[in-house]
C-alpha cells in the first residue's frame, strides 16, 4: 500500500498530489521536447510497428487514436497502416465546454483541421460522426507512463471522461452485437524515455491496460489495477 493512501485517492493528500503531478509534467515535457526531430521520427516508426503487430495478433478492427501534437510520439504511421489494413480509424474532437470528446471516422488527412487547442482534429463538416459502437482499442498520448497502467496526461481529464463514456457504450446491448467484447483495450503510446517507475494517480484517473513504446509492448494482465499485478 502506498503512503498516505485513503479511501478516495491513491498516494499523498490532494494538494501534494497536484504538486507531484505538475512537477512531473514539467520534467517529462522537457525530456520529450529534448528529442531531436529525426530521432522522434525514427522512434515513432518503431513504436507504431509494435502497435500494429499487437492489433494484428488480437484481430482488432476498430481503433481510436490521437493525431500528434508538438513532440508527442507520431501516430501517423499507425494510422496509415490501419487504412491499408482495412482497420477503422476513429479520431477524437475536443469539446472544451464540458471537456468531452466526440468521435469521428477518419478516412484521409484532408479531413483534419486545427481544433480548439491548435491540435489537428476531424472537421465536422466533412468527417463522419461515429458514436454508435466503441472501438476495440484506444491509443492514448501522455507525458509520462509506468508499467502498472499509470498515465500522466495534460490535466484536462478528457481521456478519463472518454474512458467512462466508452465503458457505458460497451455495456449497451443495443449498440454492440452479441459476442462483442465487453471492454475496450486502453494502451499508452509513447517513447521509452517517457516511462517512469510510478506515475502519481488519483482514484478517478483511468488505468491503462498496457503500453507500447519504441522498445516494444508491455501488457497488463487483467482489467483492474492492483499493486504488483503481473505483466507480459
Whether residue 160 has pLDDT greater than 60: yes
Least confident of 3-12, 25-34, 83-92: 3-12
| Percent of the chain topping pLDDT 90 | 69
Residues 67-91: tens digit of each pLDDT? 999 999 999 999 999 999 999 999 9
Cα 71 from chain centre: 15
**Predicted TM-score (pTM) of this structure:** 0.84
pLDDT at 24: 96
Residues 185-197: tens digit of each pLDDT? 999 999 999 999 9
Q: Cα separation of 210 and 79, whole Å?
A: 19
Long-range contacts of 159-168 (CB under 8 A, 24+ apart): 159/101, 159/206, 160/204, 160/205, 160/206, 161/99, 161/100, 161/101, 162/92, 162/100, 162/101, 162/138, 163/206, 164/206, 165/100, 165/101, 166/134, 166/135, 166/138
Amino acid at each position: 500500500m502506498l503512503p498516505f493512501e485513503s479511501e478516495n485517492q491513491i498516494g499523498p493528500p490532494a494538494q501534494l498530489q497536484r504538486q507531484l503531478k505538475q512537477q512531473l509534467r514539467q520534467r517529462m515535457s522537457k525530456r520529450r521536447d529534448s528529442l531531436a526531430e529525426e530521432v522522434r521520427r525514427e522512434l515513432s516508426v518503431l513504436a507504431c510497428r509494435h502497435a500494429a503487430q499487437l492489433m494484428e495478433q488480437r484481430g482488432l478492427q476498430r481503433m481510436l487514436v490521437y493525431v500528434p501534437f508538438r513532440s508527442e510520439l507520431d501516430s501517423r504511421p499507425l494510422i496509415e497502416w490501419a487504412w491499408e489494413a482495412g482497420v477503422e480509424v476513429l479520431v477524437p474532437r475536443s469539446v472544451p465546454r464540458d471537456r468531452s470528446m466526440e468521435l469521428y471516422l477518419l478516412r484521409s488527412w484532408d479531413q483534419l483541421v486545427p481544433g480548439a487547442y491548435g491540435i489537428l482534429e476531424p472537421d465536422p463538416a466533412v468527417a463522419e460522426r461515429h458514436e454508435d459502437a466503441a472501438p476495440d482499442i484506444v491509443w492514448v498520448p501522455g507525458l509520462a507512463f509506468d508499467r502498472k497502467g499509470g498515465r500522466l496526461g495534460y490535466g484536462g481529464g478528457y481521456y478519463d471522461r472518454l474512458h467512462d463514456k466508452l465503458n457505458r457504450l460497451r455495456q449497451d446491448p443495443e449498440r454492440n452485437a452479441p459476442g462483442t467484447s465487453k471492454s475496450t483495450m486502453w494502451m499508452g503510446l509513447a517513447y521509452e524515455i517517457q516511462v517512469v517507475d510510478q506515475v502519481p494517480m488519483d482514484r478517478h484517473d483511468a488505468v491503462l491496460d498496457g503500453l507500447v513504446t519504441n522498445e516494444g509492448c508491455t501488457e497488463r494482465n487483467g482489467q483492474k489495477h492492483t499493486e504488483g499485478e503481473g505483466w507480459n
